[in-house]
Amino acid sequence: MRTRVRRRPPAPRWITALTASAALAPAILLGAGADARRMPAPAPGHGGVLTIVQQVEPDSLDNAHTILGASYEVFSNIYDTLVVATGPSSYQGEIAKSWTISDGGRVYTFQLRPGLRFSNGDPLNAQAVAFTFNRILNPATKSPAVGLVGPIESVVAKGPLTVVFTLKTPFAYELADLAVPYAGIEDPKAVAAEGARFGRDPVGSGPFMVKSWVSGESITLVPNPYYRNFITALKNHGEPYLSELKYIFIPNVESEIAALQSGEADMINGLPQANYAQFKNNPAFKLLLIPADDINYLEFKTVKGAGGKPTILPPFNDIRVRRAVGYALNAQGILQAANFGLGKVEYGLIPHGEDGYDPALQKVGFRYDPALAGKLLTEAGWKMGPGGVRYKDGKPLTAVLWVFSSGSYPQDGQIIANELDAVGFKTSVVTQEIATFLAQYPKGNLNMDIVGLGWPAGIMNTAMTLPLGTGDYPDPKLVKLLDQAQATADPKARFALYAQAQAYSLQMAYAIPLYSDVTVEAFSSKVHGVYFAPNNTAMYQDVTVGG
């Protein structure tokens, strides 16, 4: 699962400096700094329709009721946030004009900009901000985003333009969480009036609002007439130039690509890396390569055992079997074969460029060593039997691996299955559409899955709050280290705690790190001005299509 669940996980990182050859320069935009995250724009102009194709249709546009990446891609255009990321660990106000942090990092007091309105004309005030977060925090809402907005204890409006957040504990990444559209502000009156339909027709203060949603086909957004843009990285501070922003849903890669090539679509929301080569030299298209600060890892399913105690499902309740999996997998081979080498092998659960990344973990992390994997399995009592499958007490060593049906996950899953089978497992791979995966996971017949997790900061803390395998196994020692890390303001001390947490997690083999991605964004050459914020959220306020 890619949290929220995203193909392009938002994470605050400057684009890595890369150099394109002269032959590739017309089609591929690479580099460092702001321009590396932006499609070049012509002189400002109005009009044009930007059509984006993505494989998965949103399940809801209510940001309190979904963590699906396909939903995030759409509703990030509908809601504004209190702050926006401007760089690694730096932020500017969007809805908030200013803020102060007090009580040792537990209290955040925001002063809001006056005169803001939602897309239906309702006022955006401190009461709306408090309503949004209290709705997420309310257990009755059952919001899957509750773990993604920080350890909030309370949110209280103090007059029309002042709102006070009190945290349960100091949290170094609260502003990072508040800069992600899961923390986008909703119109309380619209939520009350629409009820369950709010997910189909949400009301925010962002640059666009919903015009139509044709199930199974498309969602069309139009400019919000009340929109006010305060993001300094954007050039257009009025309404978006586009007349429409349209998402069309095509469930297979071949048809997605055909839509871009034919002109039916102007942008593929995350081009599969397998198709990178066919576009990179074609001047009719532009490619933007974005290092995606995510971590793809394999984890083991946890269930509630006797007395409600979390238990990792057999055979992975034996640490030797979990460690054997780590040594059986060739992460570099998976990255090369399924992702064409676009990305980085990761040895810890915090990826390159993220707060707490520790290169020293390469020395203690898992490496490809099938012989050692076999030795560990033998020590655990699994003896090689007929057909290359290991047995113990007459039962075969079986692994049921669930993966998403999108992106490179099916290929990842098959490679992993082959490598596990090579050391004596009998592995089956089940591919699931994302929404089905999430819905069926709790009672599903699996004991392993692949997670792709991206988050602005404190990514390992987020992994431990997800309702999946790693998050369902709250080892007290690991939880304590992560809690201490995220509450520590001093970066050096915080990174040291994250290093300990990662080393301990590897020792216990709670998850097997694999790789971090590079996202390939593909555009028609007619598209200008798309901007990817430092947390990799796409912004379309400057976009024009044509010319």
| Residue-level pLDDT at 26 | 31
456 by DSSP, 3-state: which? Answer: coil
Per-residue pLDDT of the chain (547 residues; tens, 9 = 90+): 333 333 333 322 212 222 222 222 333 444 333 345 676 666 666 779 999 999 889 999 999 999 888 999 999 999 999 999 987 678 999 999 999 999 989 999 999 999 999 999 999 999 999 999 999 999 999 999 998 898 899 999 999 999 999 999 899 889 999 999 999 999 999 999 999 999 999 999 999 999 999 999 999 999 999 999 999 999 998 899 999 999 999 988 899 999 999 999 999 988 877 788 888 889 999 998 887 668 899 999 998 877 778 899 999 999 999 999 999 999 999 999 888 888 899 999 998 878 888 999 999 899 999 999 999 999 999 999 999 999 999 999 999 999 998 778 999 999 999 999 999 999 999 999 887 888 899 899 999 999 888 766 778 887 776 667 777 888 899 999 998 998 888 889 999 999 999 999 999 999 999 999 888 899 999 999 999 888 788 999 999 998 6
Tell me the C-alpha distance between 392 and 383, whole Å.
7
DSSP per residue over 68-95, as a string?
Answer: -HHHHHHHTTT---SEEEEETTEEEESS
Closest CA to 435 of 65, 185, 157: 65
The secondary element (H helix, E strand) that includes residue 311 is strand 310-312
Check residue 15 and give its pLDDT: 20
Map residue 17 onto helix, strand or coil. coil
> Over the range 332-366, which residues count as b (16 or more CB within 10 Å of their CB) and which as e?
eebbbebbbebbbbbbbbbbbbbbbbbeebeeebb
Q: Any idea how long the chain is? A: 547
The conformation of residue 473, written as its DSSP 8-state character, comes to -
Which H helix or E strand runs over 454? strand 448-454
Q: What pLDDT digit, counting tens, does each position of 98-139 carry?
A: 999 999 899 999 999 999 999 999 999 999 999 999 999 999
3-class secondary structure per residue, 167-210: ECCCCCCHHHHHCCHHHCCCCHHHHHHHHHHHHCCCCCCCCEEE
Phi/psi of residue 96, each to 5°? -80, 135
pLDDT at 253: 87
Q: What is the mean pLDDT of the chain?
A: 88
Pairing of strands 398-404, 426-432: parallel
Query: What is the rounded distance in angstroms from the CA atom of residue 356 to the CA atom of residue 349?
Result: 10
Q: Residue 536 carries which side chain, given as an amino acid letter?
A: N
pLDDT tens per residue, range 390-449: 999 999 999 999 999 877 899 999 999 999 999 999 999 999 988 788 889 989 999 999
Mapping DSSP onto H, E and C, the string for 234-287 reads CCCCCCCCCCEEEEEECCCHHHHHHHHHHCCCCEEEEECHHHHHHHHCCCCEEE
For residue 200, what are the contacts with CB-CB under 8 A and spacing of at least 6? 60, 61, 210, 213
DSSP state of 38: B
131 and 105 in contact (C-beta within 8 Å)? no
- Give residue 7's pLDDT: 33
Structure tokens at 89: 């660990």
Backbone angles phi, psi at 85, to 5 degrees: -75, 135
Residue with token string 């007349």: 243
Residues 536, 351 contacting (CB under 8 angstroms): no
Both tokens assigned to 233: 């990285």
Strands 426-432 and 395-396, how do they pair? Answer: unpaired
Cβ contacts of 329 within 8 Å, gap of 6 or more: 298, 366, 368, 416, 419, 420, 512, 514
How many CA atoms lie less than 13 Å away from 471 in the CB half-sphere? 17
Of 247, 290, 268, the C-alpha closest to 76 is: 247
Note the pLDDT of residue 23.
27
Could you identify the residue written with the tokens 């040594």? 327
